[in-house]
Structure formats: structure tokens, C-alpha cells
Amino acid sequence: MVSNYLNYNVEIKNVKFISDDGRTCPRTAIVTFLNERGEEIGNELFGAVDMQLVYENIREGKELNLDNFYIPEFSLAAFRRHNNLDKKDPVTFNGFSAKNAFFEAKTVTDFSHSIFPDGDISFEGTHFAKGKVIFSGSVFGKGNVNFSHTLFRDGNIEFAGSSFGDGDFLFKNTVVKDGVKDFQDIHFGDGEVTFANTEFNSGELLFINTKFNNGRFNFKITRITGGKVDFHYSVFGNCDIMFERTEFGNSRVDFRTVDFGSGRVNFNRSVFGNGEVDFEGASCKAGKIQFKKAEMGSGPKKFNLMEMDNTDISFERTEFGSGDVTFFESKFGSLSLKSCHLDQYFDLRVSKAQLLDISDTIVRDIIDLEPYDFPVNIKVLDLSGMRLIGKLYIDWQNNKCNQSILNQENTTLRQKADQFRILKENFNGTGKYDDEDEAYVMFKRYEAKSRLTKEMEKGGARRYFTYIPYGFQWLLFDKIGLYATSPGRVLFSVVFFWLFFGISYYLLELIGLGKTVSSVGNPDNLTVFVQSFYHAAITFFTIGYGDTYPMGMSRILAGFEGFMGVFMMSYFTVAFVRKILR
């Protein structure tokens, strides 16, 4: 049947119509389809039914087969008036089919509050050529309900308050023109619900408070040009939910407080336009939600207050457009933004996450991770491969940066070192110099460990010599002064070395291997113990009074002590000036 027409004409002929299955009508409807220029682009023959006969069959409880028929002004509201029924009294069909039919009405084609029996109900390939279409409050039994390949030219359809049995609800390859598509408050059974490859054009597409139970939900390759897409308060059961390659146009996309159940949710390669995208308060008991390679426009993206403690959500390689993105106070099993370009403000102050993966990202704006009025509990934070052009707002202590990087199980020592380096450079840029020192120490430690591991992997006897420079660096740079980040620690080390050399001089004299001698006698009556510490002080600090001098093994010790004194004083100066200048 022709579907891409702009207008049409209907001509009724007093010629018997015989359908392919042998059903007959006394008259034939010839529908001529016209393009935008009024030119004929096709025609189709239908059986022209007598509407009074249709209503009589409904009243008598007969099976109604309208396949390939032309049905004008079908209205259960009119049927109720003629039979003295209340407006919402249910009307029962004992078997129904309207495949490849042609409905038209001046205002509305009305199937509201109808009851369909168990068995398949089909409107496949049917045209609702004129007027609004209403199925609100209808009840469908067990069996498939098929609206595939159907055309709704008016664009205003209403299924609000309907319920379906455990068969499939098929709405695929259907075209719905501009208007309000109302699927609110529907109860679907456990069969598949599919809107795959359907064109909804613009207007409002409403699934507010709809229950989808345990059947598969398929919205794959569906196209919407603009307006509003609203799944607010909808509930899904244990089912797979497919929005792959769906085009939402410039619609406002609303998934607030949606319960995604415990199945898999797929938004891969979906395209969101410049409207707002809102998943605030959405929840999922367990499973995976994927937005891989999705595209988003300039509107704000809200993923805050989501309750997904046991759910893994991935935005890998997603393009977020230019609007701000917030995950404020959400809870996730894991949240992945791997390989994304983060060109706008990202609020990643999640309430809880086992893993936050922002590896291989390019950050050009601000990522906010710093706790404000609630704790940000992230067990593992992966920054490996990040290109940080913008800023990370993060706190070393409150975000537990050290532990969140060390908790990584699948990154190398080199990758951990690079992440600490990223944090060190970021803290320097944001003026958090104490945090910078913490990150710098961890960076140098893991850089050294990475080099040691790399050399050990080469094998051979030479690998054992690698421990010498590693041990030297570990002792002098790390343990003595925390890589010149702690002048207090250097000063403590100075006192320690002075005590060490003083005791060493004293012990050498006790065992007769060396001693310290006064060149001016002993006017102050110093004991050997006190003189040892005095000599250690003037040697370590290179004072050089010359009133005592070493002999024996103490000469060698004095030479080493002099070097250590110069080294430690220089080390303290560097660490102290570094603190002051910042």
C-alpha cells in the first residue's frame, strides 16, 4: 500500500468487492493517493462496508473481520449512544481483524473501552487516514496485538489506560505523523513490546506511568524529530530494553524516576538532539545500562540522584555535545566515561560508585569530584591516559585519591604513576599545594617501582644491580625528605644523622678504632661522650672551628659526615624554599 502520499480521494462504486480470502462487499471503495503537487501516485481497492452492519455484528457478538475494507467514521462512542450504553461501558469483540484496512473519520476513530478476546488482534498494514485514533481504556487478551506497518496520518493516537495480555505488542515499521502519542498508564504483559523502526515525527510521545513487566522492550532505530519523549514513572520488569540507534531529534527526553528493572538497557549509538536529557532519580536493581557511542546535543544532561548501586553504566565514546552533564549524588556499581571528550562541565560528585572510569578522556573544562555537603564515595578512580587541559576539582583526603588509584587491579605501575602525576599537576594548577605534595610523592614512588619492575623483567644477573640505585633513591629522596616536599621531615633527618654520627664517634673510641682529639686541650672538661657529639655537630654543619680533629677510623667517618652535612643542608634549603615560594 502507498504510504508517502500527501492527500487522497475516495470514490465509492456499486461494484461488488471480493477479497483475496473470498469475503465480499456489495460496493467497492477506490482510494487514489496524491503527492504534494496533486498528482496521482497510486490507488488501492477496498471493500466499502455498511457501518450499520458492522455495529450489528458487534452487538450480536459475531467475529469482526475488516481486512482490506474501507471503514468510515468507526466510533464505539456512537455505538454506545445508539444502544443506550454509558460512555465507558465496555464493548466486547468476539474476534477482530483489520489488516490492510482503510479507516477515516472527520474527528475520531474510536475503539475506547473495548474488550478484545484471547487470540491475535491485527491492524497490520492499515491506514488511519483521517482523524484521531483512540484505544484508551481497552483490554486485550492473550495473543499478539499487531500495529506493524500501520500509518496514522493524523498523528494523534491514544492508548492511555489500556492493558494487554502476555502476547506481543507489535508497533514496528509504523509511521505516526505529528501529534500527541499517548501510551500513558498502560499495563503490558510479558510478551515483547516493540516500536522498532517506527517514525513518530514530532509532538509528544508519552509513556508516563506505563508498566512493561518482563517482556522485551524494543525501541531500536525509532525516529522522533522533536517535541517531548516522556517515560516518567514507567516501570520495567526483568527484561531487555533496547533503544539502540534511536533518534530522539530535538525532543526533551524524560526518563525521570523510571524503574529499569533488572535487565540490560541499551542506548548504544542513540542520537539525542539539543533538547534536555533527564534521567533524574531513575533506578535499576541490577544489570547494565549502555550509552556507547551515543550522541547528545547542546541541552543539559541530568543523571543525578540515580539509584543504581548494583548496575554498571557505560558512556564509552559518547559525544556529550555542549550542555552541562551532572551525576550529582547518584549511586552506581560502576560508571564509565572512557574515551570521551569532556568539553563541558561534568558534575561527578556521585554518592557511591565501586568504579569511576574516566580513562583515555580529553578534559577541556571542569570535572567536579570534590565533596560538598555529602561524601563522595568512589572505591576505584581510573584516570589512566587522561589528557587534562581543563581542571579537576578533587580533594586528596576527602576523595581518598591515594586508595582509589591503588585499588585498581587492571592498571600497571606505570599507569598508576601517570595518574598520580596528573593529580600532582592538577593540584598545582588549582592551588592545592599540600595535595600536590601528596600526589608528587606517590608519583615518584610508583615511577621508581615501575623502572625497577621493567629492569627485573629483562632477566639476567644485571637485574639485581638495579636494586642499588633504587635503594639509594628510596632512602635519600623518599624516606629522608619525601622528595623535598617536607622540610620538617628533612630537619628531623638532620637531627637523626647528627645523633647517628655522634654515637658512632663515641663507639669507635670505646672499641679503640678511632677517636676525636682536642687541639686546645680540654678547657671545658668535656667527657668523651659529649666531645663526640660536639665534633659530630661542627663537622656535620661544616662549622670548622678546628678545636677538635679525628684520628683513626674516625677520619673516614668524618669525611662521610661532612658530605652528608652539605647534602642535608642543601636538601633542607630546597624543601624549605619550595614551601615558602608557593
Cell of 170: 507489535
Residues pairing with 560 in the sheet: none
What letter would DSSP give residue 251?
P
The answer to whether residues 511 and 560 belong to one domain is yes
The verdict on residue 447 lying in a domain is yes
Q: Within a 10 A sphere around the Cβ of 455, how many other Cβ atoms? A: 18
The DSSP secondary structure of 171-234, one letter per residue, reads -TT-EE-SEEEE-TT-B--SS-EE-TT-EEEEEEEE-TT-B-TTS-EE-TT-EEEEEEEE-TT-
φ and ψ at residue 562, rounded to 5 degrees: -60, -45
Q: What is the CATH number of the domain that holds 564?
A: 1.10.287.70
**Which of 436, 470, 504 is the endpoint of a domain?**
470
* CA-to-CA dists, residue 116 to 62, 163, 186, 441, angstroms: 12, 10, 15, 73
The verdict on residue 532 lying in a domain is yes
Q: Strand pairing of 102-110 and 127-134?
A: parallel
The answer to whether residues 513 and 570 belong to one domain is yes
The answer to whether residues 456 and 516 belong to one domain is no
Cβ(207)–Cβ(234) below 8 Å: yes
What's the rounded Cα separation, in Å, for the pair 455 and 477?
20
Cell of 30: 477506490
Cβ(8)–Cβ(33) below 8 Å: yes
**3-state secondary structure (DSSP) of residue 245:** coil
Buried b or exposed e, range 349-378, using 16+ CB within 10 angstroms: bbbbbbbbbbbbbebeeebbbbeeeeebeb
Task: Give the pTM.
Answer: 0.86
The answer to whether residues 491 and 572 belong to one domain is yes
What integer pLDDT is reported at residue 476 of this predicted model? 81
What letter would DSSP give residue 119?
S
Q: What percent of the chain has pLDDT over 90?
A: 76
In 3D space, the residue among 318, 307, 322, 354 whose CA is nearest the CA of residue 335 turns out to be 354
What's the rounded Cα separation, in Å, for the pair 512 and 523?
24
277: which residues sit within 8 A by CB, 6+ positions away? 253, 296, 299, 300, 301, 302
What's the rounded Cα separation, in Å, for the pair 173 and 175?
7
What's the rounded Cα separation, in Å, for the pair 309 and 83?
56
The answer to whether residues 418 and 446 belong to one domain is yes
What integer pLDDT is reported at residue 468 of this predicted model? 80
Cell of 485: 616536599
What's the rounded Cα separation, in Å, for the pair 547 and 553?
19
| Structure-model confidence comparison of residues 487 and 107, the more confident one | 107
Q: Strand pairing of 179-182 and 151-152?
A: unpaired
421: left (phi over 0), alpha (psi -120 to 50) or beta: alpha
The answer to whether residues 418 and 458 belong to one domain is yes
What's the rounded Cα separation, in Å, for the pair 557 and 532?
12
If one counts the domains in the chain, the total is 2
In 3D space, the residue among 413, 420, 436 whose CA is nearest the CA of residue 578 turns out to be 436
Burial bucket for residue 11 (CB in 10 Å: 0-12, 13-18, 19+): exposed
pLDDT at 578 over 90: no
- Cell 583526603 found at: 397
The answer to whether residues 493 and 465 belong to one domain is no
- Mean pLDDT over the full length of the chain: 92
Cβ(235)–Cβ(212) below 8 Å: yes
Question: 1 pLDDT band (50/70/90 cuts)?
Answer: low
pLDDT at 217 over 70: yes
The verdict on residue 539 lying in a domain is yes
The answer to whether residues 492 and 464 belong to one domain is no
What integer pLDDT is reported at residue 422 of this predicted model? 97
pLDDT at 208 over 90: yes
Tell me the pLDDT tens digit for each residue of 461-507: 667 677 788 888 888 888 888 888 888 888 898 999 999 999 999 99
Q: Which amino acid is at 155?
A: G
Count Cα atoms within 13 angstroms, Cβ side, for 67. 16
What's the rounded Cα separation, in Å, for the pair 247 and 241?
16
Buried b or exposed e, range 399-426, using 16+ CB within 10 angstroms: bbbbebbeebeebebbbbbbbbbbbbbb
Cβ(71)–Cβ(102) below 8 Å: yes
Tell me the pLDDT tens digit for each residue of 330-356: 999 999 999 999 999 999 999 999 999
The verdict on residue 508 lying in a domain is yes
What letter would DSSP give residue 283?
B
Calculate mean pLDDT across residues 300-307.
96
The verdict on residue 558 lying in a domain is yes
The verdict on residue 66 lying in a domain is no
The answer to whether residues 496 and 554 belong to one domain is yes
pLDDT at 263 over 90: no
Cβ(362)–Cβ(338) below 8 Å: no
Measured between alpha carbons, how far apart are the two ends of the chain, in Å? 77
Q: Within a 10 A sphere around the Cβ of 397, how many other Cβ atoms? A: 11
Cβ(236)–Cβ(261) below 8 Å: yes
Q: Within a 10 A sphere around the Cβ of 152, how many other Cβ atoms? A: 25
The verdict on residue 416 lying in a domain is yes
Tell me the pLDDT tens digit for each residue of 394-452: 999 999 999 999 999 999 999 999 999 999 999 999 999 999 999 999 999 999 999 88
Cβ(483)–Cβ(440) below 8 Å: yes
What's the rounded Cα separation, in Å, for the pair 557 and 506?
12
Its domain, for residue 457, covers: 412-470
The answer to whether residues 508 and 546 belong to one domain is yes
The answer to whether residues 447 and 508 belong to one domain is no
**Which of 470, 495, 514 is the endpoint of a domain?**
470
Q: Strand pairing of 127-134 and 346-347?
A: unpaired
